[in-house]
Chains A and B, each alone.
Chain A
Amino acid sequence: MHIDLAGIPIISIVVFLPLAGALLIAFVPRRFERAVKALALLTALAAWVVSLVILVAYLPSIGGFQFGETADWIPAFGIQYKVGVDGLSVALVVLTTTLTWISILASFGPIKERVKEFMISFLILEVGMLGVFVALDLFLFYIFWEVVLVPMYLIIGIWGGANRIYATMKFVLYTLVGSLLMLLAILATAYTYQLATGSWTGAFDFFALKAHGFDATLQGFAFFAFFLAFAIKVPMFPFHTWLPDAHVQAPTAGSVILAGVLLKLGGYGFIRFAIPLYPDAAVSFAPLIIVLSIIAILYGAIVALRQPDLKKLVAYSSVSHMGFVTLGIFASVLIPVGVAGREQGMQGAILQMISHGLITGALFLLVGVIYERTHDRAIAKMGGLGAPVPVYAAILGFFVFASVGLPGLSGFVGEFLVLVGSWAYNPWVAVASTFCMIFAAAYLLWMLQRVAFGPVSEFLKGLGHHLTDITPVEILTLAPLGALVVVLGLFPGLILGLVDGSVRDVLAAVHGATTAGILR
């Protein structure tokens, strides 16, 4: 099936549709709460449908960037409104639109105050996230990157838990440190290009900059700034400390988007911008990043093991799982051309990003479901959930196994490919990472055992009939995620075929890695 979208600015439509919805909601009087909710959900669903159209219409056989749109924005500096999608972008755009409508639906119950503001914030957040994944002008990319910040700041700060103000300020300040340095790097890159070519035309254009190539000094400096911005977002050890606070304090929908999409902005930034623009610096930084990734995988897992709070446990599991993403990306960077496994690491990283978005999104939703009923998240107070709420416990079990990396589910394929890639780079790295996977199994399964099995705890007994099983609406939010986890687990080729071209394009820019650079 092929859909011809010639002449339709389909990308602008999907990016700005949520903004239109948000503006519309702004004019709905506060008292029509149901109308506000319905409008928000409809907008998010519409954006989702448009993104599916893009998914179907995108032709991996042709590859490259499609549905491009270009318009001059600030001609004095050659800044353009330039958007387009390749396979990687398409995959992440669909992930974003999917998680957004799910999150909006999931917050109908929990969000009781200032619903209108919440929905507007959420839709603007979607604009920023989608914009980041489609922008092909560095300046535009930066703008969308920052647009994400404000709504998330409000979502955590207004609708968050008891310690929300501390958490949200920490989130904003951490992110700003990275992003403002990135702005400096973007401007330095553009100016270097302008100096070399004598014109601002194309100075912020991704393709022009990628084709241009930069000297070692600029690459080193700029890559470092980009690295900081993305590493904070991913988050990589030791820049992760904002994450547990933000996750624990954020409302459920905020946590879902935070884990599901926001963390992916970092991984996407590495693959799309940092590596192709500064390939030589990427090669020199890669060993350090790989070491940090392994520390993150191990550290996240060990800390998760010790968490008394369900949400914090899932948050630390994100640190651990995202470690595989950066490991896969930079293992690929270091594997020389022609060596088997070169593409696998990055492909696995992308699959892991998608899969982590689905699984962790679902786990946060599940934590939210139980919190709605118990107003508590302490693992110690739970126990024997399988008896009073069997359906819930079963779904929780499914996603916990998916997160552990059970073969046949999506989590397995991503981690497996990353291991293949890191083995090709250095078997010891692969061995170390595999060890860490055992920890992942330990903390998740132990959590499941304490929460779902055993005798029903006194705390849960005390809740009596308040402890109801999962509702159909809640199942509706989880079902698509579960289905995708299974489908991608059984047919990972769906994603791999889509992103294969992107991975090859990125790695084609990296040619500095020689066999000598590899630790064997």
Chain B
Amino acid sequence: MTWTDFPIIAPLVAALLVAVAIIGVDMIAPGRSRPAIAVALVGLGIVAIAIVWTDQLVRTGQASGVAFGGAYTVDPLATYLDLVFVAIVALTVLFGPDYLGARDLPVAEYAAVLVFAMSGAMLIAGSSDLLVLFVALELMVLPGYLLAGFAKHDALSTEGAIKYFLLGSFSSAILLFGLAYIWGITGTTRIDGVAAALASAHGVSPALALGMALLTTGVAFKLAAVPFHYWTPDAYQGSPTPVTGFLSVGPKVGAIAIVLRLFVEALGPVHVDWMPVLAVLAVLTMTLGNLVAVSQTNVKRMLAYSSIAHTGYILVGFAVYANDPSGEGLTAVLFYAVAYAFMNLGAFAVVAALQKRPGVTSQLDTFAGLGRREPLLGLLMTLFLLSLTGIPPTAGFFAKALIILSAVQAGAPILGLAVVLNAIVAAFYYLRVVVYMYMREPQGEPAAVSHGALLRVGLAIAAAMTILIGLLPGPLIDAATTAARSLLPV
């Protein structure tokens, strides 16, 4: 590392310092959540500024965009994903204290661990070396295991965490095995080097095919794609609800970053051979996710299965990239990631708000009469659910429309049809929650709970973004297009 590297890694350094600062504040004022949250939010703001600053430097040519001798790169894609990660973690931090405070769970640790996970995700987004990629992945998922078991006196939380940890480590090992194959075949761990070596080779050798199969399996675990999704429902249901929101979004977008760097960039020359597998995975994932979600009576579990279905829609974007290297599929994926982050975090935040009083389950019954009991909360949940269903004018609608459009553009309208049919199935279970909120009478009419200011702010942001992206998707489409282009061969 030289001093010229500093501007490039400034956002990462800032992120790590923020995490350390949160722990420091917690040592000075142990058990007090406010100082820690304040440090976390201000720190995340600084990280966001650093990301934009670095991006400006690289864009204007004042910095090279490459650090550590080519192992880490800042390009428009890294900037785009970094900002998404910051937004996800900031919202998760806002949603946490209300729920955790009521259960005497430590808020400062929660925030610090989240920021650590974020720095891992940011490292993935900018990695241009397979080893950095793997280390970054571990840095992102290890905090996730901690968070899943955060409620350590809750048996379900512990069970979910252990499942998550075991399967997560298992899949990481498989992924690493696959990376080793790629290294063995190409003789390099640099992503551009791998791409160059594969471009000059002809066809897919058996060893490469095996390596790609291992990588696909590993990534599918991380993405929670069928048939590697088994850990999700338990891990999601057991985790504290704000954590579930994060797990359903943060590591998923992180996994998308891996696919972009690993499969689209490094294995780009052979993507034609790999993508048909993804098309099958995509259809399987969305269909199974949706069909199982229909039969759930627990909203958290339902959202867990629905997040599997959303993975399926996102995979369509990757799958069509094979036939249509113009990158529309990737644009759609990047757009989807943002829309999904806001609407899904928002939905989980509402569930968390309802569960503020310990002992309240996330069963459908909990939602009965919510529209009357807490009209604003009911309205917001309706908005998020409509967006998840894909009803315009919301962010979720444009995300689906872009995915379908990219499928049509790639000459695979059949994949678009699969998305459409799945969206109808999904409408059934999303709208069922609305049915409970507005069309059923509550049992025993529990009194309304007062909600913290942070939660209100977080919900307002999530809702505003869900509507704003729905009404004016143009700027986000442009940003996603720029980010996607940085991956394409010039």
A188 at the interface (CB under 8 A from B): yes
CB distance from A491 to the nearest CB of B (A): 40
Taken together as a complex, chains A and B put the C-alpha atoms of A188 and B404 apart, in Å, by 9
Taken together as a complex, chains A and B put the C-alpha atoms of A184 and B416 apart, in Å, by 7
Closest residue of chain A to B481 (Cβ to Cβ) is A76
Given contacts A146-B392, A187-B405, A188-B413, contact A176 B424 (CB under 8 A): yes
**Chain A 56-100 interface residues, beta-carbon cutoff 8 Å to B:** 73-77
Check if A184 sits within 8 Å of B427, measured CB to CB: no
Check if A146 sits within 8 Å of B391, measured CB to CB: yes
Check if B423 sits within 8 Å of A74, measured CB to CB: no
CB distance from B398 to the nearest CB of A (A): 8
Q: Which of B372, B392, B421 counts the most A-chain CB atoms under 10 A from its CB?
A: B392
Check if B477 sits within 8 Å of A74, measured CB to CB: yes
Q: Which residues of A contact B372 (CB under 8 A)?
A: 114
Closest residue of chain A to B473 (Cβ to Cβ) is A74
B431 at the interface (CB under 8 A from A): yes
Closest residue of chain A to B480 (Cβ to Cβ) is A76
Contact code string A154-175 (vs B, CB < 8 Å = 1, else 0): 1001100000110011001100
Closest residue of chain A to B405 (Cβ to Cβ) is A187
Taken together as a complex, chains A and B put the C-alpha atoms of A183 and B392 apart, in Å, by 11
- Pick the contact of A169: B408, B420, B431 (CB < 8 A): B431
Q: Which residues of A contact B408 (CB under 8 A)?
A: 184, 187-188, 191
Check if A147 sits within 8 Å of B392, measured CB to CB: yes
> Secondary structure at chain B's binding surface: helix, strand, loop or mixed?
helix
- Pick the contact of B423: A73, A158, A165, A176 (CB < 8 A): A176
Given contacts A146-B392, A158-B438, A184-B416, contact A169 B474 (CB under 8 A): no
Given contacts A73-B474, A143-B393, A180-B424, contact A187 B401 (CB under 8 A): yes
**Chain B 385-430 interface residues, beta-carbon cutoff 8 Å to A:** 386, 391-393, 397, 401, 404-405, 408-409, 413, 416-417, 420-421, 423-424, 427-428
CB distance from B483 to the nearest CB of A (A): 14
Taken together as a complex, chains A and B put the C-alpha atoms of A172 and B434 apart, in Å, by 12
- Pick the contact of B417: A75, A117, A184 (CB < 8 A): A184
- Pick the contact of B431: A76, A164, A172, A190 (CB < 8 A): A172
A429 at the interface (CB under 8 A from B): no
CB distance from B185 to the nearest CB of A (A): 37
Q: Which residues of A contact B432 (CB under 8 A)?
A: 169
B478 at the interface (CB under 8 A from A): yes
Given contacts A146-B392, A180-B424, A184-B420, contact A191 B409 (CB under 8 A): yes
**Chain B 351-373 interface residues, beta-carbon cutoff 8 Å to A:** 371-372
Given contacts A165-B439, A184-B408, contact A172 B427 (CB under 8 A): yes
A181 at the interface (CB under 8 A from B): yes
Taken together as a complex, chains A and B put the C-alpha atoms of A15 and B435 apart, in Å, by 28
A-B contact count (CB 8 A): 80
Check if A150 sits within 8 Å of B391, measured CB to CB: yes
Taken together as a complex, chains A and B put the C-alpha atoms of A143 and B390 apart, in Å, by 11
Q: Which of A75, A147, A169 counts the most B-chain CB atoms under 10 A from its CB?
A: A169
Given contacts A146-B392, A173-B427, contact A157 B439 (CB under 8 A): yes
Taken together as a complex, chains A and B put the C-alpha atoms of A140 and B334 apart, in Å, by 23
Q: Which residues of A contact B397 (CB under 8 A)?
A: 143, 146
CB distance from A416 to the nearest CB of B (A): 40
Taken together as a complex, chains A and B put the C-alpha atoms of A143 and B393 apart, in Å, by 7
CB distance from B259 to the nearest CB of A (A): 23
Q: Which residues of A contact B431 (CB under 8 A)?
A: 153, 169, 172
CB distance from A265 to the nearest CB of B (A): 15
Q: Which residues of B contact A423 (CB under 8 A)?
A: none
Check if B405 sits within 8 Å of A169, measured CB to CB: no
Closest residue of chain A to B393 (Cβ to Cβ) is A143
Q: Which residues of A contact B417 (CB under 8 A)?
A: 181, 184
Check if A147 sits within 8 Å of B393, measured CB to CB: yes
CB distance from A8 to the nearest CB of B (A): 23
Taken together as a complex, chains A and B put the C-alpha atoms of A173 and B408 apart, in Å, by 24
Closest residue of chain B to A116 (Cβ to Cβ) is B375
Closest residue of chain B to A73 (Cβ to Cβ) is B474
A24 at the interface (CB under 8 A from B): no
Given contacts A74-B473, A172-B431, contact A181 B393 (CB under 8 A): no
Check if A76 sits within 8 Å of B435, measured CB to CB: no
Contact code string B231-258 (vs A, CB < 8 Å = 1, else 0): 0000000000000000000000000000
A3 at the interface (CB under 8 A from B): no
CB distance from A95 to the nearest CB of B (A): 24
Given contacts A146-B392, A150-B391, A191-B408, contact A180 B420 (CB under 8 A): yes
Taken together as a complex, chains A and B put the C-alpha atoms of A409 and B86 apart, in Å, by 66
Given contacts A149-B391, A191-B405, contact A184 B424 (CB under 8 A): no
**Chain B 434-462 interface residues, beta-carbon cutoff 8 Å to A:** 434-435, 438-440
Taken together as a complex, chains A and B put the C-alpha atoms of A183 and B404 apart, in Å, by 9
**Chain A 355-388 interface residues, beta-carbon cutoff 8 Å to B:** none
Q: Which residues of B contact A73 (CB under 8 A)?
A: 474
Closest residue of chain B to A145 (Cβ to Cβ) is B392
Closest residue of chain B to A157 (Cβ to Cβ) is B439
Q: Which residues of B contact A149 (CB under 8 A)?
A: 391
A208 at the interface (CB under 8 A from B): no
Contact code string B459-476 (vs A, CB < 8 Å = 1, else 0): 000000000000001100
A177 at the interface (CB under 8 A from B): yes
Check if A177 sits within 8 Å of B386, measured CB to CB: no
Q: Which of A154, A168, A173, A191 counts the most B-chain CB atoms under 10 A from its CB?
A: A191
CB distance from A177 to the nearest CB of B (A): 6
Q: Which residues of B contact A172 (CB under 8 A)?
A: 427, 431
Check if B439 sits within 8 Å of A158, measured CB to CB: yes
Q: Which of B397, B427, B477, B481 counts the most A-chain CB atoms under 10 A from its CB?
A: B427
A142 at the interface (CB under 8 A from B): yes
**Chain A 274-332 interface residues, beta-carbon cutoff 8 Å to B:** none
Taken together as a complex, chains A and B put the C-alpha atoms of A165 and B401 apart, in Å, by 28
CB distance from A424 to the nearest CB of B (A): 38
- Pick the contact of B428: A142, A164, A173, A188 (CB < 8 A): A173
Taken together as a complex, chains A and B put the C-alpha atoms of A177 and B426 apart, in Å, by 12
Taken together as a complex, chains A and B put the C-alpha atoms of A181 and B420 apart, in Å, by 7
Taken together as a complex, chains A and B put the C-alpha atoms of A364 and B112 apart, in Å, by 61
Given contacts A142-B392, A184-B413, contact A75 B474 (CB under 8 A): yes
Q: Which residues of B contact A142 (CB under 8 A)?
A: 392
Closest residue of chain B to A76 (Cβ to Cβ) is B477
Closest residue of chain B to A178 (Cβ to Cβ) is B424
CB distance from B146 to the nearest CB of A (A): 40
CB distance from A131 to the nearest CB of B (A): 11
CB distance from B225 to the nearest CB of A (A): 23
Q: Which residues of A contact B423 (CB under 8 A)?
A: 176, 180
Q: Which residues of B contact A75 (CB under 8 A)?
A: 474
- Pick the contact of B424: A77, A173, A190, A191 (CB < 8 A): A173
Question: 20 A-B residue contacts at CB 8 Å?
Answer: A73-B474, A74-B473, A75-B474, A76-B474, A77-B477, A146-B391, A146-B397, A147-B392, A147-B393, A149-B391, A157-B434, A172-B431, A176-B423, A183-B401, A183-B404, A184-B404, A187-B404, A188-B408, A190-B405, A191-B408
**Which residues of A does B touch, CB under 8 Å?**
73-77, 114, 117, 142-143, 146-147, 149-150, 153-154, 157-158, 164-165, 168-169, 172-173, 176-177, 180-181, 183-184, 187-188, 190-191
A117-B371, A169-B428 are known; give 7 further A-B pairs, CB within 8 A. Answer: A73-B474, A146-B391, A157-B434, A165-B439, A183-B420, A187-B408, A187-B416
Sort A-B residue pairs by CB-CB distance and give the 4 closest, nearest first. Answer: A143-B392, A180-B420, A157-B439, A187-B405
